[in-house]
Amino acid sequence: MSHSTDVSSDSAHNGAWYCLFVCWLIAATSTFGSLFFSEVMLIPPCVLCWYQRIPMYAMLVIFSVALFPLDRKVTRYALPLAVIGWLFAFYHLLIYSGVIPEAMQPCGAEVSCAKIDLELIGFITIPLMSVVAFSLMIGLLFMISRGFKK
């Protein structure tokens, strides 16, 4: 009987670790992708891009620390950051889509939040990639906090 408890505990531990590792991969890809866009492709980040980068960069550090050894309490710190980042990314996506009027846009004259600098396959924009990244991390963090109990 204790053997089956150990196996389920091990699989819960492994499932939580893999979810956290995927979160780390998403944060690392997003961090280095944002740096590639701004430093290599010379696409200047707007104000909302910076507001999305701040939680993403912080989560990369948090996930790196929480992986070894696995810290299931990482959701306490990472989930609020992911939600904040998602809100900024979604607002930015609404600006890109033309839903938010120009009077409500926080960006200055130097770098416009509404200017489409990159569009992959005709519809994938930087804010869309950000919304997807934050959404995936939020889902995975919920799985860690709710789905993999000991």
Q: How far, in Å, CA of 93 to CA of 13, rounded?
A: 36
Please report the pLDDT score of residue 92 as a whole number: 87
Please report the pLDDT score of residue 137 as a whole number: 96
pLDDT, mean of residues 81-107: 85
- Lowest average pLDDT, out of 2-6, 28-32, 42-46, 101-105, goes to 2-6
Q: What average pLDDT is seen over the chain? A: 82
- Lowest average pLDDT, out of 22-26, 69-73, 98-102, 122-126, goes to 122-126
pLDDT, mean of residues 47-51: 87
Please report the pLDDT score of residue 122 as a whole number: 61
pLDDT band for 100, please (50, 70, 90 cuts): confident
Q: How far, in Å, CA of 82 to CA of 4, rounded?
A: 35
Q: Is the peptide bond before 55 cis (omega within 30 degrees of 0)?
A: no
Please report the pLDDT score of residue 7 as a whole number: 45
